[in-house]
Structure 1
Amino acid sequence: MDYDHKDRGEYSLGEPAAALYGRLKTKRDAVLSTAREMATITIPSLFPPEGYQSGDQIGENNQSVGAQCINTLASKLMYVAFPPNRPAMRFELEEYKLKKENDGLSEDDKQVLLSKLNVALASLEVTHKRRMEATRVRMAYVTYMKQLEAGGNAAWEHEKIGDPVVHRMDTYVVKRNKRGEQLFVILEETLLLEDLPKEFADRMREERKIDFEGKAPWECEITTHRVCKTVGSKDAPRYIEWSEYEGEIIPGSKEDQDDLPQIYAGWLIPQYGEDWGRSYAEEYRGDHYIVENGYAALQDGMAAAAWTLFGVKPGGSTKLADLIKARNLKWVTGDLVNDVTVLRVDKGSDFAFVDNTTAKAERRLARAYLMVSSVQRDAERVTAEEWVQLTGELDEAMGGLHSVIAQTIQRHVVMKFLALHKKEEPDLPDFEKIAGADVVRTEIVTGVDALSRSHEGASLRRLRRALVEDLGPEGAARVMSDIEYARRLAASEGVQTAGLILEDKDIQANDQSKLQTGIAAQAAPGVIEKVAGTMAEGGKEALLQQQAQQNGVMPNGN
Structure 2
Amino acid sequence: MSTSAPQTVSAEGRYSQLKSDRNNAESRAKQCATLTLPTLYKEVSKGKSSSSRTTPYQGTGARCVNSLSARLLLALFPANANFFKLSPDGMDANQLAEQAGIQQGELEMGLAEIERTVINDIETSGMRGRLGLGLKHLVATGNVLMYVPDEGNAKMYPLTRYVVDRDGMGSVLEIITLDSIAPSTLGDELKSSLGLDEKKGGKTDSGPEQDVELYTRIYRDGELWQVYQEVNSNIVPGSQGTYPIDACPWIPLRIPEEDGEDYGAGLIYDYYGDFDALEKLSKAILKGAAAAAKVLWALDENAAIRPKTITEAESGDVLRFKAEQLKAVSQEKFGDFNFVGQHIDKLISRLEMAFGVRTSIQRNGERVTAEEIRYLAQELEDVLGGIYSILAEDLLLPLVRRIMDRLTRAHRLPDLPPGLIKPRIVVGVAALGRGQDMQKIMEWSQAAQTALGPQVFAQYVNPGELMARMGAASDLTMKGLIKSDDQLQQEQQQDTMHQAAIRAAPTIAGAAMAPQGVPSGES
Q: TM-score range by the shorter chain?
A: 0.7 to 0.9
1:489 to 2:470 alignment: yes
Q: Quick check: 1:135–1:161 contact (8 Å CA) kept in 2?
A: no
Query: Which residue number in structure 2 is paired with residue 214 of structure 1?
Result: 204
Structure number having the greater helix percentage: 1
Structure 1 segment 211-250 matched on structure 2, within 5 A: 212-214=202-204, 219-232=209-222, 237-250=223-236
Question: Residue in 2 aligned with 1:61?
Answer: 56
1: CA distance, partners of 2:304 / 2:99: 116
Q: State the distance in 2 between where 1:102 and 1:210 align.
A: 62
Q: CA deviation at 1:98?
A: 6.2
Alpha carbons of structure 1 residues 10 and 81: separation in structure 2 relative to 1, 3 Å: farther
TM-score between both structures, scaled by the size of structure 2: 0.85
Q: CA deviation at 1:307?
A: 0.9
The equivalent residue for 1:378 is none
Question: Residue 273 of structure 1 aligns to a residue in which SS?
Answer: coil
Confirm or deny that 1:187 pairs with 2:183. no
Q: 1:468-524 deviations in whole A, cap 9, x for unaligned?
A: 344333232123221111111111112222221112232233233234434544678
Change (3 A) 1:462 1:101: closer
Cα distance in 1 between the residues matched to 2:326 and 2:374: 64
- Identify the match of residue 137 of structure 1 among 127, 152, 155: 127
Q: Identify unmatched segments of 5+ residues in structure 1.
A: 1-7, 376-384, 539-558
User: Does the CA-based 8 Å contact 1:391-1:447 persist in structure 2?
Assistant: no
After superposition, the C-alpha distances for 1:193-246 in whole angstroms (9 at most, x for unaligned) are: 2344542303556756366353699724322321111101xxxx3101111234
CA deviation after TM superposition for structure 1 residue 443, in Å:
0.9
For the structure 1 residues 203 and 442, does the alpha-carbon distance in structure 2 shift closer, same or farther, using more than 3 Å as the test? closer
Contact 1:161 1:417 in 2 (8 A): no
Amino acid across the alignment from 1:227: R
- The normalised TM-score by structure 1 is 0.80
Matches for 1:272-291 after TM superposition, within 5 Å: 272-291=259-278
Instruction: Sort the Cα spacing of 1:490 and 1:374 in 2 relative to 1 into closer, same or farther, 3 A.
Output: farther
Aligned to 1:351: 337
Q: 1:481 to 1:338 in 2, by over 3 A?
A: same
User: How far off its partner does 1:104 sit?
Assistant: 7.8
Q: Residues 31, 479 of structure 1: CA spacing in aligned structure 2 closer, same or farther, 3 A cutoff?
A: same
Superposed, 1:83-232 pairs within 5 Å as 83-94=78-89, 96=91, 113-196=103-186, 198-203=188-193, 209=199, 212-214=202-204, 219-232=209-222
For residues 401 and 207 of structure 2, the distance between their equivalents in structure 1, rounded to whole angstroms, comes to: 38
- Quick one: which amino acid aligns to residue 269 of structure 1? P
Q: Which residue of 1 aligns with 2:72?
A: 77
Q: Matches of 1:141 and 1:391 in 2, distance apart?
A: 24
Alpha-carbon separation, structure 2, partners of 1:486 and 1:211: 64
State the 1:459 CA deviation. Answer: 2.4
Q: Deviations over 1:311-365 (max 9, x none)?
A: 333444666455334433x142445641321111211111122112222221221
Secondary structure of the structure 1 residue equivalent to 2:125: coil
Q: Answer whether contact 2:143 2:266 (CA < 8 A) is retained.
A: yes
Structure 2 residue 432 is the aligned partner of structure 1 residue 446 = no
Looking at structure 2, the residues matched to 501 and 344 of structure 1 have their Cα atoms a distance apart, in angstroms, of 82
CA RMSD of aligned residues (A): 3.5
- Which position in structure 2 is the counterpart of 1:509? 490
8 Å contact 1:191–1:222 — kept in the other structure?
yes
Query: SS in structure 1 opposite 2:244?
Result: coil
Equivalent residues of 2:38, 2:51 under 8 A apart:
no
Which residue in the other structure is 1:552 paired with?
A: none
Larger mean CA deviation between 273-282 and 87-96 belongs to 87-96
- Is 1:500 matched up with 2:481? yes
Amino acid aligned to 1:304:
A
The 3-state SS of whatever aligns with 1:175 is strand
Count of equivalent residues = 504
More divergent stretch after superposition (291-300 vs 245-254)? 245-254
Deviations 1:521-548 (A, max 9, x none): 4678x657536757xx99xxxxxxxxxx
> Which SS does the other structure have where 1:209 is aligned?
coil
Distance 1:400-1:240 versus aligned 2 partners, 3 A rule: same
Q: Is residue 97–residue 107 contact of structure 2 (8 Å, CA) maintained in 1?
A: no
Percentage identity across paired residues of the two chains = 23
What SS does the aligned partner of 2:260 have? coil
User: Take 1:269 and 1:301, find their aligned partners in 2: how far apart are those partners?
Assistant: 38
Q: Match of 1:297, as an amino acid?
A: A
Amino acid at match of 1:479: Y
Does structure 2 retain, via aligned residues, the 8 Å contact 1:62–1:296?
Answer: yes
CA deviation map 1:87-129 (0-9, x unaligned): 2321113583666668789xxxx6x522210111112211221
Deviations 1:151-192 (A, max 9, x none): 222211111443111111112222221111121112222222
Q: Which protein has the larger Cα radius of gyration, Structure 1 or Structure 2?
A: 1
| Higher mean displacement: 34-43 or 248-257 | 248-257
Which one of 225, 237, 243 corresponds to residue 257 of structure 1?
Answer: 243
CA–CA distance in 2 between the matches of 1:386 and 1:164? Answer: 36
The match for 1:17 is: 11
Change (3 A) 1:152 1:113: same
Distance, in Å, in 1 between the alignment partners of 2:318 and 2:512 is: 120
- The corresponding residue for 1:544 is none
More displaced, 515-524 or 157-166? Answer: 515-524
- CA shift at 1:41, angstroms? 0.7
Residue aligning to 1:554: none
Q: 1:508 to 1:102 in 2, by over 3 A?
A: closer
Q: What is the DSSP-based 3-state SS (H/G/I as helix, E as strand, rest coil) of the residue aligned with 1:400?
A: helix
Contact 1:87 1:450 in 2 (8 A): no
- CA distances 1:274-307 after superposition (whole Å, capped 9, x unpaired): 3222221111110111111121112112202211
The corresponding residue for 2:392 is 406
Shift, 1:21, TM fit = 1.9
1:367 partnered with 2:353: yes
Corresponding residue of 2:328: 342
1:297 pairs, out of 284, 287, 291, with: 284
Rounded to whole Å, the distance in 2 between the matches of 1:484 and 1:363 is 53
Q: 1:278 to 1:231 in 2, by over 3 A?
A: same
